[in-house]
Amino acid sequence: MAPSAPRTRAAAALRMKQIALDNQDRTIRRLRAQLATQRGGLTATKKELEETQVALETSHKVIAGLTEIGLSMSKKIEKMKVKKQLVRANHVECHQKFQARIHEAEDSMQAQHLLIEALVDEKDSLLQTIHGLQESNNAPAPFDGDWEEEPEEDRKRKRLRIFL
């Protein structure tokens, strides 16, 4: 038995090494399969990340575009507010000028009315002077007999029509 024992031991050692190599081979194959699976998962994840990045870039472009539109609209709104204020100021100025013209016209009409009254009074005074001179000289009246003095009420009505 002595000579076969080292052979059996060597054979057993070789068998053990063979089993260990087979185990390592199975482990390597299993690990390679896991690695391939993980690589596939990583490829899918990488693809998803790229798609997400493209979507994010698109979203950023849309947001930038909307921001530009918002800023542009804000500027337009500010310009419109300024224009509105200018229009209001111009309206107030025109209204004031119009009111001033109305007051000037009213003052002018009142001055004309006073002038007309003064002329009517002067006419009455001149007519009285003419009548007085004619009576003192016993001269015939220079006017035909149909001449009548305008009643005071008619003069007032005519003056009122001037103001209207």
| pLDDT tens for each residue of 46-105 | 999 999 999 999 999 999 999 999 999 999 999 999 999 999 999 999 999 999 999 999
The per-residue pLDDT for range 54-70, each reduced to its tens digit, is: 999 999 999 999 999 99
3 state SS of 143:
coil
Checking if the pLDDT of 158 tops 70, the result is: no
Residue of higher predicted confidence among 130 and 2 = 130
Summarize the confidence of residues 129-138 as an average pLDDT.
86
Query: Between 152-163 and 4-137, two packed helices, what is the crossing angle to 10 degrees?
Result: 160
Checking if the pLDDT of 156 tops 90, the result is: no
CB 155 within 8 A of CB 120: yes
User: What residue has token string 């005519």?
Assistant: 158
Summarize the confidence of residues 134-159 as an average pLDDT.
66
Q: What percent of the chain has pLDDT over 70?
A: 82
The confidence score (pLDDT) of residue 64 equals 94
**Mean pLDDT, the chain, as a whole number?**
87
